Amino acid sequence: MTGNTTSITDPASKDVKKFTFDFSYWSHDGCKDDGTGYMAPDTSHPNGKKFADQKKVYNEMGAGVLKNAWEGYNSTLFAYGQTGSGKSWSMVGYGVNKGIVPIYCENLYKQIDEKRAAGAKEQYEVMFSMLEIYNENVQDLLDSSPSKKYLNVRQHPKSGFYADGLKSVPVGTYAEIEQRIEEGTRNRTVASTKMNATSSRAHTIVTIKFVQKSVNAAGEEMAKSAEANLVDLAGSERADSTGATGARLKEGAAINQSLSSLGNCIAALAEIAGGKKNMQVPYRDSMLTKLLKNALGGNSKTIMIAALSPADINFEETLSTLRYADRAKQIKTTARVNEDPTAQLIRELQEENEKLKAMLASGKMDMSLLENGEGGADMTDEERAKLKNELEAEYKGMLEKNKLDMENMEKEFQKRLQESQGQAAGVTGTGKKQIEAAGVTGTGKKQIEAAGVIEIGKKQIEAAGVTGTGKKQIGAAGVTGTGKKQIGAAGVTGTGKKQIEAAGVTGTGKKQIEAAGVTGTVKKQIETAGVTGTG
């Protein structure tokens, strides 16, 4: 391995194949115990300079996953390779040689503590889950009960596939996460094979959900969330390499089926990235590919670790892994920040305003405009001062515009929030506008929403076009059919109880309106609208 290039030599033909990736790490030899058990580079060894210890691997790959989490992006990091090649070492580690997962968790809480100590107003929540896929069955590794059942994998129309019933537990400290990782690791399915005495016979997925909550200037709660999926895949070797028989052989078949499905998905996505049209990605072929759908081709920033064996006896497996990784690097995902779009725009404008305020306060304008502009080098001090004042005025104008944009967006956000609350109550569309147009506000509005006025009742209100009071209200309503006959027969000319009784609003309908607690003007408006019967 040299730089970001990995070379592999065929032991028979001596042909050399080269593969280029973002990183190529050597961690087979060239290390020594630093006295604490940590394996550090041994500068006296020929390979000491290129030995990649756990901290180096995390700093160059895992740290980016943590940065993504703070910015609101989902991330997935998965390790692929044959048994004994170092997948679990890279992901989890051993003892003081912590892998990416524990270092990620430790640094997440360090940064949370630093922000809190600095007086951050945001609130932070961390949720942890851990599952394994064994023989195409999904198990919750945080469920130690003897009666635990396999989890069903279902599909949500928006968020995609998920394991129904998977425990996601709140974790307030790094120590709690460590405890959960140990708990889940104890429950993993392992077995001895010829390749590895303690080989994991299942795929393991650790999910850490990080939520940041804040309150904007209008007093509304804003949230930004991110999920980090850290995946340790089972060994990818052929059955004859493991010496497996019976149950172990069946496990190997299931492992190879899911890894083959993963390979097919990666190949299809690579074709799509290359411009091929009408390609179907076979996510449904295995539980693994269902649960990794977002990671492979959806809302996630994804990193693949290809763990390799340096032994020539494993040449074919190593070459297969390298080809697998070479296809995977061609895939393009579409990660996006998981926050309300309005909240994102407001946040960006706030950040821009803070920068503008800082520049105005310091008096340091963006003088590159002065240096790079036409004739900038020949400006007199007077001309420079004049242009600086113009820039200052421009910055102030930008500040005011940003402030106005933020206010407008917050108003629009509040409007959408109120509309969504109205929709949740069953009052939607035109009907909701008519109720608001009728001057029904405050407690009265809440009472209508609480009454669950829907279907027939809602249609009658909408048909009524209630906007005023008394007879004018009924006349403007254009009430037809039974309602019109009731009103006409009643000879309604006044308001209040006579109007209600004259309208023929009786029986169950009247009781329902009264039971809903709708009184006063609001009650009159509903009743004059011709709401009768069950509606």
Q: Which amino acid is at 52?
A: A
Of 71-85, 411-425, 513-527, the least confident: 513-527
Predicted pLDDT at 426? 47
86 annotated among ligand-binding-site residues: yes
State how beta strands 5-9 and 16-20 pair. antiparallel
- How far, CA to CA in Å, does 531 sit from each of 141, 228, 454, 495? 55, 53, 11, 16
Mean pLDDT along residues 480-492: 40
pLDDT band (50, 70, 90) for residue 305:
very high
- The beta-strand segments (E) located in 69-159 are 75-80, 93-94, 97-98, 123-134, 137-140, 152-156
Predicted pLDDT at 121? 87
Q: What is residue 194's DSSP assignment?
A: S
pLDDT of 239 > 50? The answer is: no
For residue 116, give both structure tokens: 């809190």
Are residue 453 and residue 362 in the same domain, yes or no? no
* Residue at 302 is within a domain: yes
Predicted pLDDT at 115? 94
What percentage of the chain has pLDDT greater than the value 70?
Answer: 63
Q: Which amino acid is at 114?
A: E
pLDDT of 491 > 50? The answer is: no
Predicted pLDDT at 56? 96
Predicted pLDDT at 338? 78
Predicted pLDDT at 284? 92
Q: How far apart are CA 252 and CA 200, in angstroms?
A: 11
* Residue at 534 is within a domain: no
Cβ density class 366-387: b for 16+ within 10 Å, e for less: eeeebeeeeeeeeeeeeeeeeb
Are residue 506 and residue 379 in the same domain, yes or no? no
Are residue 212 and residue 133 in the same domain, yes or no? yes
37 annotated among ligand-binding-site residues: no
Q: Which residue has the higher pLDDT, 244 or 146?
A: 146
88 annotated among ligand-binding-site residues: yes
Identify the CA nearest to 55 among candidates 11, 106, 7: 106
Residues 6 or more apart in contact with residue 491 via CB below 8 angstroms: 502
List, for residues 517-533, the tens digit of each pLDDT value.
455 544 554 444 444 44
pLDDT of 132 > 70? The answer is: yes
Residues 6 or more apart in contact with residue 371 via CB below 8 angstroms: 377
Predicted pLDDT at 348? 67
Q: How far apart are CA 180 and CA 190, in angstroms?
A: 18
Whole domain around residue 32: which residue ranges?
Answer: 1-52
Q: What Rg do the C-alpha atoms of the chain give, in angstroms?
A: 33
Side-chain half-sphere exposure of 335, counting CA atoms within 13 A: 22
494 annotated among ligand-binding-site residues: no
Number of domains the chain is built from: 4
258 annotated among ligand-binding-site residues: no
Look at residues 9, 33, 52 and tell me which one is the last residue of a structural domain.
52
375 annotated among ligand-binding-site residues: no
Side-chain half-sphere exposure of 124, counting CA atoms within 13 A: 20
Predicted pLDDT at 215? 82
List, for residues 20-58, the tens digit of each pLDDT value.
999 999 999 999 999 999 999 999 999 999 999 999 999
State how beta strands 203-215 and 123-134 pair. antiparallel
Q: How far apart are CA 258 and CA 252, in angstroms?
A: 10
Q: How far apart are CA 302 and CA 294, in angstroms?
A: 9
* Residue at 139 is within a domain: yes
Predicted pLDDT at 430? 44
Look at residues 339, 363, 395 and tell me which one is the last residue of a structural domain.
339
Are residue 435 and residue 301 in the same domain, yes or no? no
Residues 6 or more apart in contact with residue 449 via CB below 8 angstroms: 421, 422, 425, 426, 427
Are residue 3 and residue 104 in the same domain, yes or no? no
Are residue 243 and residue 293 in the same domain, yes or no? yes
Of 260-269, 398-407, 502-511, the least confident: 502-511
Are residue 390 and residue 489 in the same domain, yes or no? no
pLDDT band (50, 70, 90) for residue 200:
low
Are residue 397 and residue 335 in the same domain, yes or no? no
> Is the pTM above the cut of 0.85?
no
Are residue 58 and residue 48 in the same domain, yes or no? no
List, for residues 420-471, the tens digit of each pLDDT value.
555 544 444 444 444 444 444 444 444 444 444 433 344 444 444 444 444 4
Predicted pLDDT at 421? 53
517 annotated among ligand-binding-site residues: no
* Residue at 477 is within a domain: yes
* Residue at 535 is within a domain: no
246 annotated among ligand-binding-site residues: no
What percentage of the chain has pLDDT greater than the value 90?
Answer: 39
- CATH number (domain holding residue 213): 3.40.850.10
pLDDT of 411 > 60? The answer is: yes
196 with 185: CB under 8 angstroms? Answer: no
Look at residues 358, 390, 424 and tell me which one is the last residue of a structural domain.
424
Q: Which residue has the higher pLDDT, 415 or 148?
A: 148
Angle between helices 246-273 and 315-328 (to 10 degrees): 40
- 335: which strand partners? none
Cβ density class 126-160: b for 16+ within 10 Å, e for less: bbbbbbbbbbeebbbbbbeeeeeeebebeeeeeee
Of 77-91, 215-229, 344-358, the least confident: 344-358
Q: How far apart are CA 340 and CA 220, in angstroms?
A: 12
Of 180-189, 235-244, 370-379, 404-413, the least confident: 370-379
* Residue at 533 is within a domain: no
Predicted pLDDT at 346? 64
Are residue 158 and residue 65 in the same domain, yes or no? yes
Mean pLDDT along residues 192-200: 43
Are residue 303 and residue 382 in the same domain, yes or no? no
Q: What is the mean pLDDT of the chain?
A: 75
* Residue at 351 is within a domain: yes
Are residue 441 and residue 420 in the same domain, yes or no? no
Of 105-109, 145-149, 390-394, 405-409, the least confident: 405-409
Tallying the residues shown for the chain, one arrives at 535
Mean pLDDT along residues 476-488: 41
Predicted pLDDT at 379? 64
156 with 207: CB under 8 angstroms? Answer: no
pLDDT of 327 > 80? The answer is: yes
Q: What is the largest CA-CA distance in the chain?
A: 106
Q: How far apart are CA 227 and CA 46, in angstroms?
A: 40
Predicted pLDDT at 451? 41
